[in-house]
Amino acid sequence: MRYSILSLARNALSGHAHWPRAWRDPPLQPAYDAVIVGAGGHGLATAYHLARDHGLSRIAVLDKGWLGGGNTARNTVTIRANYLREPSMRFYAAGIRLWEELSRTLNYNVMFSQRGQIDLIQTWAKLRDVKRRQAALRLIGVPFEILTPAQARERLPLLAPEAPVRLPVLAASWHPTAGVARHDAVAWGYARAADAMGVDIVQNCEVRSIRREGDRVIGVETARGFVATPRVAMCVSAHAGDLAATAGFRLPIETVPLQAFVSEPLKPMLDVIVNIPQFATYFSQSDKGELVIGGGADAYPSYAARGSFAVIEEAVAAMLSLFPALKRVRMLRQWAGSIDLCHDITPILSPAPVAGLSLSVGWGSGGFKAIPIGGVALAHLVATGAPHPLAEHLLLSRFAKGRPLFETAGASNRL
């Protein structure tokens, strides 16, 4: 967004009366060429690419709440490509290249900060895992190094000196292209750019069911009436199972709470993302100074957007054992989201068993990083009916064929 200092001052003094609207509030039309359900990062990015790259002109994104208010608003914004399976690595590495350009692409500052990620390795099993990943990532040119504990301490002065902790740091991995971005700016940037190309973003418009005739989708029933369309894309995160049921099929997904919390703001003290994989705990410092901390998913399925205290205790214990200097830091707030986990900890970006219906679901604890590449890939699928070449491993049919992917380098503590 380009505003001069004078324009900022004028708007500040006039009660913001002259700000242009970032996107319209259009009425719902009775028919569209494509309807995207869910105005989170994935739905909005898909709409943007459908309009920009595939020339579809009548596109709607419908959300039951406000845009960007789902998990996109609740996540801890870690972006990385240090996965284990080759197709995952290629997919997320392509995603990082899109992140590097995203502010320019959208003409909107998404505050992408490529600060790198250090994983602190505390068991021999994890060390074997990162060595395997290093070899695999090297094959496709994703930067990923293994550090000695001394090298890790050089980059992370906060890390406790060697001490008799229960699980000492045996090594660390360094993934320099990892980063963070501002979550709501990502949703707003895509929304503004899609709206400018004529996409209707209709908020407060729940999709109650997907209507089919025979094995084809013909539209969606919404809180504001029926909308006819030959193409529906489902980007509803934790609500995918319910919506799929209305179209007559089931998804191999369970919904679990995942929580995060932030500390009070601190002076700049941490310029990388720290991950403690043994305890599924990670943290980074936001531009406001807060430590943004994530823990593991809760162990039980639930739609409750709150998590259990045991997860917070485990995350804090893991942090303090390695970073005792943080023991006097106070917690500011905590929240949770409901995430959709596939049984193989890998998302589904695929045609559904109903013709004309496409799915982008099951992103679990890792879908924020995938927003730009997920949008490209889903738009390709919706427009052409064929999977994007980088997303062929994400088809739903892998379950029926007995070929789950088991991405052990997902952020979840489920494997």
Ligand X SMILES: Cc1cc2nc3c(=O)[nH]c(=O)nc-3n(C[C@H](O)[C@H](O)[C@H](O)COP(=O)(O)OP(=O)(O)OC[C@H]3O[C@@H](n4cnc5c(N)ncnc54)[C@H](O)[C@@H]3O)c2cc1C
Size of the site for ligand X (CB under 6 A): 39
Stretch 273-312 residues interacting with ligand X (CB under 6 A): 294
> Is residue 350 involved in binding ligand X (CB under 6 A)?
no
Cα(first)–Cα(last) distance of the chain, in Å?
A: 42
> Is residue 259 involved in binding ligand X (CB under 6 A)?
yes
The minimum distance between CB 295 and ligand X, in angstroms, equals: 8
> Is residue 398 involved in binding ligand X (CB under 6 A)?
no
The minimum distance between CB 404 and ligand X, in angstroms, equals: 19
Token pair for 104: 């320019």
Using DSSP, state whether 196 is helix, strand or coil: helix
In this complex, which beta carbon is closest to ligand X, that of residue 75 or of residue 122?
75
For residue 250, count other CB atoms closer than 10 A to its CB: 9
From 336, 326, 395, 339, select the one nearest 367 (Cα to Cα): 339
Using DSSP, state whether 109 is helix, strand or coil: coil
> Is residue 260 involved in binding ligand X (CB under 6 A)?
yes
Which residue bears the tokens 């994890």? Answer: 126
> Is residue 74 involved in binding ligand X (CB under 6 A)?
yes
> Is residue 71 involved in binding ligand X (CB under 6 A)?
yes
Stretch 309-338 residues interacting with ligand X (CB under 6 A): 337
> Is residue 65 involved in binding ligand X (CB under 6 A)?
yes
Per CB under 6 A, the list member of 49, 64, 192, 231 interacting with ligand X is 64
The answer to whether the CB of 302 falls within 8 A of the CB of 339 is no
In this complex, which beta carbon is closest to ligand X, that of residue 139 or of residue 319?
319
Stretch 359-388 residues interacting with ligand X (CB under 6 A): 363, 365-369
The minimum distance between CB 101 and ligand X, in angstroms, equals: 18
What's the rounded Cα separation, in Å, for the pair 306 and 212? 35
Angle at 225 between CA 220 and CA 227, to 5 degrees: 40
Using DSSP, state whether 245 is helix, strand or coil: helix
Q: Choose one: 21-29, 65-73, 82-90, 392-400; the region binding ligand X (CB under 6 A).
A: 65-73
Using DSSP, state whether 63 is helix, strand or coil: coil
> Is residue 40 involved in binding ligand X (CB under 6 A)?
yes
Q: Choose one: 57-65, 102-110, 309-317, 382-390; the region binding ligand X (CB under 6 A).
A: 57-65
DSSP bridge partners of 225:
222
What's the rounded Cα separation, in Å, for the pair 299 and 311? 9
In this complex, which beta carbon is closest to ligand X, that of residue 122 or of residue 338?
338
What's the rounded Cα separation, in Å, for the pair 328 and 406? 39
> Is residue 236 involved in binding ligand X (CB under 6 A)?
yes
Containing 383, the helix (H) or strand (E) segment is helix 371-384
* Binding region for ligand X (CB under 6 A): 37-43, 62-65, 69-72, 74-78, 206-207, 235-237, 239, 243, 258-260, 294, 337, 339, 363, 365-369
